[in-house]
Amino acid sequence: MIKDITIGQYFPGNSIIHRLDPRFKLVIALAYIVMLFAGNVFVSIITGAVFCIVSFALSRIPFKLMAKSLKPILPILLFTSILNLIFIDTGKTVFKLWILKITSGGIETSVMMIIRITLLITGTSLLTYTTSPIALTDAIERLLSPLKKIKVPVHELAMMMTIALRFIPTLIEETDKIISAQKARGADMENGNLVQKAKAMIPILIPLFISAVRRAEELATAMECRCYRGGEGRTRMRQLKASAHDFVAAGVTMIFFAALIAVNIII
Amino acid sequence: MDNTFARCEDLVFSYDDESRDVLCDVSLSFKRGEFTAVLGHNGCGKSTFAKHLNAILLPCGGSVYVDGIDTKDEERLYDIRQRVGMVFQNPDNQIVATIVEEDVAFALENLGVPPEEIRERVDEALKSVGMYKYRMHSPHQLSGGQKQRVAIAGIIAMRPECIVLDEPTAMLDPIGRREVLKTVKRLNREYGITIILITHYMEEAAMCGRVIVMDKGKVLLDDVPKEVFSKVELLKSVGLDVPQVTELVYELNKYGLGLDQHIITEEECTEALIKLLS
Amino acid sequence: MAVLKTENLSYVYSPGSPFEKTAVDNVNIEIEKGEFVGIIGHTGSGKSTLIQHFNGLLKPTSGKIYLNGKDIWEDKTQIRQVRFKVGLVFQYPEYQIFEETVYKDIAFGPKNMGLSKEETDRRVRATAEAVGLSEGELFKSPFELSGGQKRRVAIAGVMAMEPEVLILDEPTAGLDPKGRDLILEQIKKYHRTFGTTILLVSHSMEDVARYASKILVMNESKLFCYDETAKVFERAEEISQMGLSVPQITRVFNELKSRGIDLGEEVYTVKFAKELLVDILKKRGKLHD
């Protein structure tokens, strides 16, 4: 059943990584991405790998979960590495069959590419595994708040994200119910060709859409009743306070960064 | 000081796309601490009336005063909404946040209350509806009755003087209904909060201090439950019920038994029947 | 012969996961043709899961369901046929309406059955009449109708499949007393006219008591009892303890009994209470015609 799908990837815990201020985590994750793609390939991969492995060990997230996060990108990984293998024509020819030519340069690039993407995905998944969606939304809102000065609706965007997160489980349950109800009237969703299958979605999508609009209207009234008037003059119950270990984490990241730059200059 | 909390005078209202008046010349007042039920079939105007009490809708004719403030006074809109909280029928469509305590804090954050005070008032509100231990839950893990209590806590946190509940139990099972009613009754008794309860359940109305019956945008009856429910025929003619015990007395009186038509509770009915049968 | 029969029916949600939950636990039941059955049980008692087995929306984890003596899961490809024979109206069915006219929405089921245009037309008109929708309303958009009318369109949509068994999950939830009585009376009339077996799920004991001849009580995933309405109300005490409410009138007469006035009958509707009292008073000479 659809209901069984887990929402978000948050994996509750109480490790050092979990307890980090979400704003710091978000900035560190961005720094990590830059690290992966900056300068000399070997150096950046080694720094990134060390950084990623250490964080993972600290977070106490089971290895199985990390492997799971890689599964959906496996086809992309394969596809790009095959393209790299075939089309990069530098270095020695290792293997040749008719017009197919695989070179040492191609092998090198595709291996590096695989490692980089793997590190990228595992590293960023760690962020979503250890940070609840609401904390993440909060962090984004606060980090982007300087943009309010140039009229970016930061609060509104964050509010939209929160409401979306709130209503995903409700709408999934609703979809499930509508599917069952239409099936009870003999709707056939499994058989038929592509056009018929697309048509079979109409009895599900229309009621779902109507219900979403109705919910939105009711929610808007309920929000008005509770004095909602946008982000102006709003306070927050939960205050994000950076503690010593947030700065330590930031410091460690900076050192990694500095090392990366230093090595790049020397080489 | 005047004991009247809210008052409307010759209230008239119609929606833009309809020529028919949804409310015509409604004049009512509510005392502080009063517990009132509003009855009426769907479409009789009771929800529209309720939305006038916190300036979600503004009158087309006449006026509504809440705690002495005219609801047309835009400057004081949030003073009004903070004084009169509203709870709606569908518990899913009034919870905004993904964590219970964040939702309860929503109104206070909107009002710009300092964080430490929000924390204090949220905890207090959650305790007053018995949902404190669920404060870190996500709303979809809760039952209907629990969600409705969270919605009530979100209102209580504003420290309102009055709560208007628009069919809060219509979508709940009997257990959920009992939970919600118990909570509302306690808020009325212990905190003196004025309650206006819109409902279809006659037993719920029977326990209130005052019952208002609306029909076609007008106030049909406005009295204590005993008097209202004694008018069995009138109520049936506008598509409403009476409690089963009242109906039994009414049916028996057709045989000229002359029982007191003001019976609305099980105890009163039992006593009357014992007298009749002994 | 029983129209519906279950044999050691059990259903487990998310087996093997930490959320594993037995929703229906070894239920054995036989429902006779033409019966009007009330199904009660608190939220989470397993009643909703149970009814979704009757038309093959859920497949039992173990055990069997027979429709007219035939195992419905014997041939998986025929499960849609079972859904036409056992109509299920979900809670708040008006939220499944999607067509642009009332007519088309009621015709959705018959069309899925592959019926001819003429037969579909006959059924749409017959069921629309059964639920009190006028000719003029048939070609309106369902979204222009009132809540109660929409509900009746949705119920007609299932009735139009002319099922042998019609299951309704809380058909009166959220309606006002008038809308509630209207729908229940229409179901009763439909039952009388077509002889369809009706299964009515409800939280309202008053409604069940007024219409059902038999009551099925589910409690904590198990079948608590399935019996004649009067017999079930003899166990009012146990039913109250399950978190269900017995009709107010039943509570009054049980109180009378505990205070030494036993009228010898189980009272669960106002009509019956009145007749019983009038009868007794006449016998005692306290009341003359």
Q: Which of C96, C150, C158 to mutate to test the interface with A (most CBs of A within 10 A)?
A: C96
Q: Which domain holds residue B62?
A: 4-226
**Minimum-distance CB partner of C98 among A180, A186, A207:** A207
C7 within domain boundaries? yes
At B137 the pLDDT is 87
Co-location of C75 and C126 in the same domain? yes
pLDDT band at A7 (very low <50, low <70, confident <90, very high): very low
User: For chains A and C, what is the number of CB pairs under 8 angstroms?
Assistant: 55
Same domain, C222 and C113: yes
Given this model, what pLDDT does residue C289 score? 62
Has residue B252 been placed in a domain? no
DSSP assignment of C68-112, as one string?
TTEETTSSGGGHHHHHHHEEEEPSSGGGG--SSSHHHHHHHHHHH
What band does B1 get if pLDDT is binned at 50, 70 and 90? low
Q: Is residue B52 part of a domain?
A: yes
Selected for mutation to probe chain C from A6, A174, A180, A185 (highest C CB count within 10 Å) is: A185
- Whether residue B230 is predicted with pLDDT greater than 90 in this model: the reply is yes
**Which tens digits make up the pLDDT trace of B47-90?**
999 999 999 999 999 999 999 999 999 999 999 999 999 999 99
Q: Do A228 and B112 touch (CB under 8 A)?
A: no
Please check whether residue C141 lies inside any domain of the structure: yes
From C123's Cα to the closest Cα of chain A, the distance in A is 14
Considering the domain architecture, whether residues C219 and C253 belong to the same structural domain is answered as no
Q: Are residues C123 and C169 in the same domain?
A: yes
Residue numbers in C near A183 (CB within 8 A):
57, 83
Answer yes or no: do C43 and B248 touch at CB < 8 A: no
CA distance A3 to C12: 15
Please check whether residue B38 is in contact with residue B198, taking contact to mean a CB–CB distance below 8 angstroms: yes
One domain for residues C265 and C130 = no
Strand intervals (E) in C57-210:
62-67, 70-71, 86-89, 165-169, 197-201
Taking a contact as any Cβ pair under 8 Å apart, which residues of chain A between 146 and 205 contact chain B?
A: 162-163, 165-166, 169-170, 173
Q: Do C248 and B252 touch (CB under 8 A)?
A: no
B90 φ, ψ (degrees, to nearest 5): -85, 110
Pairwise CB contact (< 8 Å): C274 & B252: yes
DSSP assignment, residue A3?
Answer: G
Q: How far is B190 from chain A (nearest CA, A)?
A: 23
Phi, psi for residue A103 in degrees, rounded to 5:
-115, 165
**CATH code of residue C183:** 3.40.50.300
The percent of residues in chain A predicted with pLDDT above 70, rounded, is 97
For residues A115-131, give the mean pLDDT.
87
| Residues C195 and C146 placed together within one structural domain of the fold | yes
Establish if C61 belongs to a structural domain: yes
- Does residue C149 lie within any of the structural domains? yes
Count up the domains in chain C and report the number.
2
Q: What is the pLDDT of residue C73?
A: 95
Q: Do C256 and B144 touch (CB under 8 A)?
A: no
- CA–centroid distance for C234 within its chain: 21
Which of C17, C96, C158 has the CB atom closest to A178's CB atom? C96
- Domain-embedded: residue B251: no
- On whether both C157 and C278 belong to a single domain, the answer is no
Q: Quote the CA–CA distance of B172 and B178 in Å, as a whole number.
A: 9
Q: Which residues of C touch B176 (CB under 8 A)?
A: 43
Interchain pair B119, A237: CB under 8 A: yes
As to burial, measured by CB atoms within 10 angstroms (0-12 exposed, 13-18 middle, 19+ buried), residue C6 is buried
Q: The pTM is what?
A: 0.87
For the segment A8-21, the average pLDDT, to the nearest whole number, is: 80
Segment B163-170 shows an average pLDDT of: 95
Q: Is residue B237 part of a domain?
A: no
Contacts of C217 in chain B (CB under 8 A): none
Residue A82 predicted with pLDDT over 80: yes
> How does residue C190 score in pLDDT terms, banded at 50, 70 and 90?
very high
Residue B137 touches partner A, C-beta closer than 8 Å: no
CA dist A118 and A70 (Å) reads 7
Q: What is the mean predicted confidence (pLDDT) over A55-75? A: 81
Please answer yes or no on whether C96 and A182 come within 8 Å at the CB atom. Answer: yes
Question: Is residue C268, in this structure, part of any structural domain at all?
Answer: yes
Whether residue C190 is found in the same domain as residue C64: yes
User: Do residue C73 and residue C149 come from a single domain?
Assistant: yes
CA distance A4 to chain C (A): 8
The overall average pLDDT reported for chain C is 93
Question: Strands, E, within C126-205: which ranges?
Answer: 165-169, 197-201
The whole-number average pLDDT for the span B33-42 is 95
- Beta carbons of C98 and A206 less than 8 Å apart: yes
- Summarised one tens digit per residue, pLDDT across range C58-89 is 999 999 999 999 999 999 888 999 999 999 99
- Rounded to whole angstroms, the Cα distance separating B172 from B183 reads 14
- Domain for residue C50, yes or no? yes
Is C93 among the domain residues?
Answer: yes
**Residue C188 near residue C131, CB atoms below 8 Å:** no
Q: Is residue C242 part of a domain?
A: no
- C85 CA to centre of own chain: 15
Which pLDDT does position B133 carry in this prediction? 94
- The contacts found for A212-221 with CB under 8 angstroms, 24 or more apart, are A212/A167, A212/A171, A214/B93, A215/A167, A215/A170, A215/B90, A215/B92, A215/B93, A218/B88, A218/B90, A218/B93, A218/B94, A219/A163, A219/B93, A219/B94, A219/B96, A221/B51, A221/B56, A221/B88
**CA distances, B4 to each of A227, B19, B194, B250, C228 (Å):** 24, 33, 11, 35, 54
Q: How far apart are CA A207 and CA A213, in angstroms?
A: 10
Which two structure tokens, joined as six digits, stand for A114? 């695989």
CA dihedral A81, A83, A88, A89 (to 10 degrees): 120
What CATH number should be reported for the domain holding residue B67?
3.40.50.300
Would residue B132 count as lying in a domain? yes
Interface confidence, given as ipTM, is: 0.91
- Indicate yes or no: CB of A207 within 8 angstroms of CB of C84: no
Residues C196 and C268 in one domain: no
Contacting residues of C for A186, CB less than 8 Å apart: 80, 83-84, 109, 112-113, 161
* Whole-number Å distance between alpha carbons of A241 and A145: 16
Question: How far apart are the C-alpha atoms of C141 and C105, rounded to whole Å?
Answer: 10
Least confident of A97-111, B123-137, C34-48, C138-152: A97-111
| Distance between B264 CA and the closest CA of chain A, angstroms | 34
Q: What is the pLDDT of residue A9?
A: 65
Flag whether residue A211 sits within 8 Å of chain C, measured between CB atoms: yes
Number of domains in chain B: 1
- Assess contact for B171 and B144: CB atoms under 8 A: yes
| Residue of A134, A219, A227 lying closest to B110 (CB–CB) | A227
Q: Quick one: average pLDDT of B165-187?
A: 93
Q: Are C89 and C169 in contact (CB under 8 A)?
A: yes
For helices C117-130 and C102-112, the axis angle rounded to 10 degrees is: 120
Tokens of B138: 């996500």
Instruction: Indicate whether B73 belongs to any domain.
Output: yes
Residue at B265 is within a domain: no
Same domain, C69 and C154: yes
Give me the domain span that covers residue C260.
247-289
In a shared domain, residues C44 and C125: yes
What CA–CA distance (Å, rounded) separates A142 from A23? 8
Res A89 pLDDT > 80: no
Alpha-carbon gap, residue C277 to C283, rounded angstroms: 10
